[in-house]
Amino acid sequence: MAEEKQIWLSSPHMSGYEREMVEEAFDTNWIAPVGPHINAFEEELAQYLGHGKVAVLSSGTAAIHLALIMLGVKRGDEVLVSSLTFSGSANPVVYQGATPVFVDSEKDTWNMDPQLLEATIKDRLKKGKKSKAIILVHLYGMPAKMDELMDIAAKYEIPVVEDAAESLGSLHKDRRTGTFGDISVLSFNGNKVITTSGGGALVSANEAYVNLAKKLSTQARDDAPHYQHSMIGYNYRMSNVLAGIGRGQLKVLEQRVNERRKINQFYRELLGNYDFINFLNEPEGHFSNYWLTTILMRDKENSQKPRETLRTELAKHKIECRPLWKPMHLQPVFKNAPAYTNGTAEELFNVGLCLPSGTNMTDDDLERIKTRMQEVLSVL
């Protein structure tokens, strides 16, 4: 029997356009963190979002870091962060010497709970701490409850960093995610809905932030013939070669979102009839790119058992699944950070599973997933 090929959770899916763009970069020798693809990619992203200006960077994490610097987050400050997220959302808070204060999720979108956010802000104020920023995330592509969250941020005058790393192509009431924050962040890491291998972007309606991001990400050079610096800079700019890949990817973004949503539909048809399996559904006005399809698998004790059985059995057949993000407030590295919890993130982590969602999966791959899943589930 032929060896089974590995099916990944989400792997890069090139369109073919990228190669021309990269070749152009080689032909013109713009093999640098400066060049025409960078400017063009920024303009095309702003056009796609229909909002603001864009600075493309070396990663989404770098974009969050620069966002916090520009919002004046310093040593001793506090920043409110969704607990259920990837560590890249929270680490930059610590780069600034500040403390993340984690806020748990609500059940409808799995994102930051607006009620708990307000309770947290009030409690921190009572303790004499006004948070410097709120980092919100749209997990697995599902937009957060932006109306409520943005109202609370405005009420307490706390700027929002919108982590849209997983949600490019998602909409909240016909408005694209990545356009809500005072500063918004995109990621083009290899596993995201479109990729530049590694990369990110900072987006803002405030052009001053975007210009400053471009300056800070290229070592904060002053306007002088020699190298002069009045600020500490970073080497966070995107390479022109990678911006070329990004331009090729952006051409097929809408198509990729449609394909991800079709994969989500495939799993709903396959698994919808098992009463111990639940999906995350789109609340009214929320349109998800379904970057990853996720399910919850519950037994009577709410244990990890059914989820782990499915995950490990599929792994034996080279089908990669993964538990949901482990909440930040349960991470060893953040054990001393304050956390305001309601049990939702922890429960989701216990019973949640991310399913293979890459758009480059073939019909044969999907058929293999179907057969193997049915085998495992028939004995669960």
- Binding residues for ligand PLP (CB under 6 A): 59-61, 85-86, 88-89, 137, 163, 165-166, 187, 189, 200
CB of residue 372 to ligand PLP, shortest distance in Å:
27
CB of residue 264 to ligand PLP, shortest distance in Å:
18
How many residues are recorded in the chain?
Answer: 380
Cα 18–23–25 angle (5° rounding)?
100
Choice between 171 and 377, CB closer to ligand PLP: 171
State the Cα–Cα distance between residues 329 and 346, nearest whole angstrom.
Answer: 9
Burial class of residue 175 in the structure, from the number of CB atoms within 10 Å of its CB (0-12 exposed, 13-18 middle, 19+ buried): middle
CB of residue 58 to ligand PLP, shortest distance in Å:
8
State the Cα–Cα distance between residues 357 and 363, nearest whole angstrom.
Answer: 13
CB of residue 196 to ligand PLP, shortest distance in Å:
9
Choice between 8 and 86, CB closer to ligand PLP: 86
- CA 233 vs CA 66, 212, 221, 271: distances in Å: 10, 10, 8, 50
- CA 188 vs CA 3, 127, 195: distances in Å: 31, 38, 4
Choice between 85 and 239, CB closer to ligand PLP: 85
Choice between 168 and 252, CB closer to ligand PLP: 168
State the Cα–Cα distance between residues 294 and 343, nearest whole angstrom.
Answer: 19
Choice between 189 and 204, CB closer to ligand PLP: 189
3-state helix, strand, coil in the chain (%, to 5): 40, 15, 45
Closest CB to ligand PLP: residue number: 60
Choice between 89 and 294, CB closer to ligand PLP: 89
